[in-house]
Amino acid sequence: MFMVKRFTSRDKEMADQAFAIRRKVFVEEQGVDAAMEYDHEDEAHHYLLILAGKPIATARWRKTEKGIKLERFAVLPGFRNRGIGEIILKEVLKDVIPLKKMIYLHSQVNATSFYERNGFTKFGEQFTEAGIEHFVMHYHD
């Protein structure tokens, strides 16, 4: 059975677990510069998905001038394509939809179909961020 835990960057143990997932996925697997990976931590609202006592996915959101930006969705390689990303995305959306602000994210091109299945639409042109091609996507329920 899984559980999704919410935390802030002040919870060092949970933050370290989330950072380990993000380091594995973004820095090691995708080659993102580690200095770029760890920004806005104190202002973000963080999530950790735990399965059988093991942290396997993470995400965060934060308020920006444009609205609510969803960020840093990462699922460990051995747990992908099993609905884990959708579980954590729905938990995040449950918390941000009531804020009644525009909800958006920067989706890697290979993840756009996942976000489209979950209520997001591409907005604008493809762009490069951290050396990876992305689209801005907006949520609409």
Q: Where are the domains of the chain?
A: 2-99
pLDDT at 40 over 90: no
Return the pLDDT at 20.
96
Q: What is the pLDDT of residue 128?
A: 94
Identify which has the larger pLDDT, 98 or 35.
98
Q: Which residue has the tokens 């934060």?
A: 62
Return the structure tokens found at 47.
């999530």
Inter-CA distances, 134 with 18, 45, 73, 105, Å: 22, 22, 14, 10
Average pLDDT of the residues in 5-34:
94
Q: 2-99: which CATH topology?
A: Aminopeptidase (3.40.630)
pLDDT score recorded for residue 89? 98
Query: Distance between CA 10 and CA 22 in Å, rounded?
Result: 17
Please count the other Cβ atoms lying within 10 Å of the Cβ belonging to residue 139: 20
* Closest residue by Cα to residue 47 from 81, 76, 83, 73: 73
> Residue 39's pLDDT is what?
82
Whether the model clears a pTM of 0.75, i.e. scores above it, the answer is yes
Q: Cβ neighbours of residue 96 under 8 Å, at least 6 residues apart?
A: 61, 68, 70, 103
Residue 38 has pLDDT above 90, yes or no: no
Please report the pLDDT score of residue 35 as a whole number. Answer: 80
- How are strands ordered across the β-sheet holding 45-51? 2-7, 45-51, 54-63, 68-75, 103-108, 132-139, 120-129
Judging by DSSP bridges, how do beta strands 54-63 and 120-129 pair with one another? unpaired
Mean per-residue pLDDT, 1-17: 94
